Amino acid sequence: MNLDKGTVYALAAALMWTVPATVTRILLSEMSPAEIVFLRTLLGTAVLFFIIMLFDRGFKAVKSVNILPSLILGFFFFSTLYSFAVSVQLTTIANAQFLTQMDIVITFLLAHFVLKEFATKRLYAALALSVLGSFTIFFSEIAFVSAEGAFGALAGLGSAVFFAFYTIAARRFFRKTDHWTMVFVFLFGSLFGAIASGISIPTISPYFWQLLLLLGLFTSIPYLLFAWSLKYTQPQRPAIIGKLTVVTTPLFAFIVLGEIPLLHSIIGGFIIFFATLLVILERPPNRFNP
């Protein structure tokens, strides 16, 4: 199987995104969602800075023309992480992960109408399967939704909306920028996190600081890989490949926390997994490969 660069980068990002939900759930016992996102993005900025130093020697300030796009992407970045942290706080990890999966629908629509990048028949088939898998999980859970759970559901859906806008904006923006611009996106994200948390740094044990550093690592690297994938392929493809997390994240949560998803959630997750395979096995049009 001859995978293109965009697919490989998206796959690597999806596998790394398996970890943050479980780590976030553990940190929520000691910190608020805003505090977690603030420190997650701040540490992620530091990690990303040193990673890019290995690839691109010499620091490069972001060009003035790119400051506003970096600020916008930073807002979408922060909003995605914060909404997801709230969702993890109020629902199970499996359900929170599912609730973010609707970003693919929004991504498809935005790519079609904004970027004029039309999807193939296989991509639309994968979209249909992803929606089917998502609603399979949703309708199995809706009977158990409380007022708190309903707010968690809205937060998860909000995370999906913000990530879809991040994907489309990044697709257009990262074609014209270098690696260092990504550092500024993270930096602006941490700025919004600082505002939301009131620059609150809680008193926590070294164990939780280690978890925060791990969270920063598993935020910076996959988002960098995701940005790279958008340079090589349509935004719809990484969006659907990212749905692998609907399978891998609940599995990781079960191994670490013993959290068991419902049977309907497992069935829906496998439907989305097969949708992802449809995308992975399709060779993208040559015009998306530089």
CB within 8 A of 13, min separation 6: which ones? 221, 222, 223, 225, 226, 229, 238, 242
Q: Are 40 and 158 in contact (CB under 8 A)?
A: no
Asked if the structure places residue 290 within a domain, the reply is no
pLDDT bracket for residue 290 (50, 70, 90): very low
Phi, psi of 126 (to 5 degrees): -65, -40
Asked if the structure places residue 32 within a domain, the reply is yes
The model's pLDDT over 128-155, given as tens digits with 9 standing for 90+, comes to 887 888 777 767 666 555 566 667 777 8
Residue 58 in 3-state DSSP? coil
Residues 59-63, mean pLDDT to the nearest whole number: 56
Total number of domains in the chain: 1
The amino acid occupying position 199 is I
When mean pLDDT is compared across 57-66, 122-131, 221-230, 238-247, the lowest value belongs to: 57-66
Question: Following DSSP, what letter does each residue of 60-100 receive, concatenated?
Answer: -PPPGGGHHHHHHHHHHHHHHHHHHHHHHHHS-HHHHHHHG
Maximum mean pLDDT: which of 125-129, 130-134, 217-221: 217-221
* Spatial separation of the C-alpha atoms in residues 246 and 189, rounded to whole Å: 25
Asked if the structure places residue 202 within a domain, the reply is yes
Structure confidence at residue 275 (pLDDT): 78
To the nearest 10°, the Cα dihedral for 76, 104, 155, 73?
Answer: 0
Asked if the structure places residue 288 within a domain, the reply is no
Q: Shortest CA distance to 158 belongs to which of 96, 215, 112?
A: 96
Alpha helices in 174-282 (DSSP H): 179-197, 206-232, 236-241, 245-257, 263-280
Asked if the structure places residue 221 within a domain, the reply is yes
pLDDT at 56 over 80: no
Asked if the structure places residue 237 within a domain, the reply is yes
pTM: 0.81
Show the tokens assigned to 17: 């995104």
Q: What number of other Cβ atoms are within 10 A of residue 97's Cβ?
A: 29
Residue 31, domain extent: 5-283
